[in-house]
């Protein structure tokens, strides 16, 4: 006999002990199961498959037709030679901000008094940087939210921006058309200058547990981007509730690098408070969503995949610097 108990956000149930010599039924349930203090097995309805059931305001997570992340099939991508290069504006200054352990992500949020804007590419408006998030896996080669031709990466950096020309804040922008722009950069196996500052030992050990925070100064955001790159863009949603379908995604097609020590340090971060049992923050990605009838556009010709990215269209244009001359 199975006994059930329901509370907001969880379903708890008790399975009878298996007869001697037979496998315990609880072993066949997903890893999400855990036992509470009374011995009941608890199945938290907070995971991605249940977002649309837990809260009616999150219904798009279950029924939306333009959800993210997706697996990008480059054979379906349309080459758009008129996409301009991406432009970054920091006012000519290095950035400061706070790094957080949110319990689900490593999050970096720039100083609210400092404007960091991105434009160009598929964006019709200037978008202000609100947050940088890191998704990563428990194993090398797995952990990114998006995939390219079925290939996953060890981690994915997401730079989340909101449309500052149309909306006063990210809350308003996230609910409305042309509200958000998310730039995704995939992670490979070698060092990157920006991530070296963000994830060095002194910094990462300050955010070991949920709600930990650490202030960082003098970061050069342009160091995060590859020297040359193409990009793929599509219309989607945020990959966290309430999954509003107001995001323009820009996927950088050349991975940046992270050392094995840095990725290992990320895996040692806990979802929980110090007083609670350690649970690694790894594998903090939403499952893939169907692309359905959405279009994929890119600024590199998929018929010439080995062609090198040359010229100004394949570089990040940073304010205060003169872009290189385009080579045809």
Range of weakest confidence among 166-170, 227-231, 237-241: 227-231
Q: What is the dihedral of CA 265, 267, 272, 277, to 10 degrees?
A: -100
Structure tokens of 62? Answer: 């279950």
On whether the CB atoms of residues 258 and 154 are closer than 8 A, the answer is yes
Predicted confidence band of residue 4 (pLDDT cuts 50, 70, 90): very low
Residue 5's pLDDT is: 44
The contacts of residue 274 (CB under 8 Å, 6+ apart) are 208, 209
Predicted confidence band of residue 305 (pLDDT cuts 50, 70, 90): low
Mean pLDDT, all residues of the chain: 85
Strands 147-148 and 71-72 come out as: parallel
What SS3 state is found at 211?
Answer: coil
Q: Which of 167, 225, 234, 244 is catalytic?
A: 167
* Strand-pair partners of 71: 147
39 has a pLDDT exceeding 70: no
313 has a pLDDT exceeding 70: yes
The contacts of residue 93 (CB under 8 Å, 6+ apart) are 114
Q: What angle do CA 206, 240, 78 make, to 5 degrees?
A: 115
Residue 31's pLDDT is: 41
Residue 232's pLDDT is: 97
Residue 327's pLDDT is: 39
**pLDDT tens, residue by residue, 90-125:** 988 999 999 999 999 999 999 999 999 999 999 999
Instruction: Give the residue-averaged pLDDT of 13-30.
Output: 39
Residue 215's pLDDT is: 95
Residue that has been written with the tokens 């060095």 in this structure:
200
Predicted confidence band of residue 314 (pLDDT cuts 50, 70, 90): confident
Residue that has been written with the tokens 């903090």 in this structure:
284
1 has a pLDDT exceeding 60: no
Distance, in Å, from the CA atom of 136 to the CA atom of 114, rounded to the nearest integer, reads: 28
End-to-end CA, the chain: 72
Residue ranges per structural domain of the chain: 3-44, 66-318
150 has a pLDDT exceeding 90: yes
Structure tokens of 71? Answer: 């697996």
Instruction: Give the residue-averaged pLDDT of 201-215.
Output: 93
Say how far residue 103 (Cα) sits from the centre of its chain.
14
142 has a pLDDT exceeding 80: yes
What does pTM read for this prediction? 0.83
Residue 24's pLDDT is: 38
On whether the CB atoms of residues 149 and 73 are closer than 8 A, the answer is yes
Q: 66-318, what's its fold?
A: Carbonic Anhydrase II (3.10.200)
Does the annotation count 314 as an active-site position?
A: no
Residue 307's pLDDT is: 61
């Amino acid at each position: 006999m199975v006994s059930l108990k329901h509370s907001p956000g969880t379903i708890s149930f008790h399975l009878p002990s298996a007869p001697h010599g037979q496998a315990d039924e609880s072993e066949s349930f997903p890893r999400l199961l855990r036992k509470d203090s009374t011995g009941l097995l608890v199945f938290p309805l907070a995971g991605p498959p249940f977002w649309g059931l837990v809260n009616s305001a999150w219904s798009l997570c279950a029924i939306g037709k333009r959800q993210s992340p997706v697996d990008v099939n480059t054979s379906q991508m349309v080459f758009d030679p008129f996409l301009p290069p991406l432009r970054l504006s920091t006012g000519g200054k290095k950035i400061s901000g706070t790094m957080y352990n949110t319990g689900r992500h490593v999050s970096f949020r720039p100083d609210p008094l400092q404007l960091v804007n991105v434009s160009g590419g598929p964006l019709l408006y200037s978008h202000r940087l609100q947050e940088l998030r890191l998704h990563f896996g428990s194993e090398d080669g797995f952990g990114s939210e998006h995939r390219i031709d079925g290939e996953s990466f060890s981690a994915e950096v997401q730079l989340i921006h909101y449309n500052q020309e149309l909306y006063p804040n990210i809350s308003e922008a996230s609910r409305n058309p042309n509200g958000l722009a998310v730039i995704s950069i995939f992670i490979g196996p070698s060092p990157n200058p920006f991530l070296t500052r963000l994830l060095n030992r002194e910094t990462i050990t300050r955010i070991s547990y949920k709600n930990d925070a650490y202030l960082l100064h003098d970061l050069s955001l342009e160091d995060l981007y590859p020297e040359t790159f193409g990009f793929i863009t599509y219309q989607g949603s945020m990959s966290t509730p309430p999954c509003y379908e107001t995001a323009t995604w820009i996927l950088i097609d050349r991975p940046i690098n992270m050392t094995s020590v840095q990725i290992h340090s990320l895996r040692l971060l806990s979802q929980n408070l110090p007083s609670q049992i350690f649970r690694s923050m790894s594998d903090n990605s939403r499952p893939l969503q169907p692309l359905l009838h959405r279009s994929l556009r890119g600024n590199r010709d998929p018929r010439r995949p080995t062609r090198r990215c040359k010229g100004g269209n394949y570089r990040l244009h940073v304010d205060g610097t003169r872009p290189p001359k385009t080579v045809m």
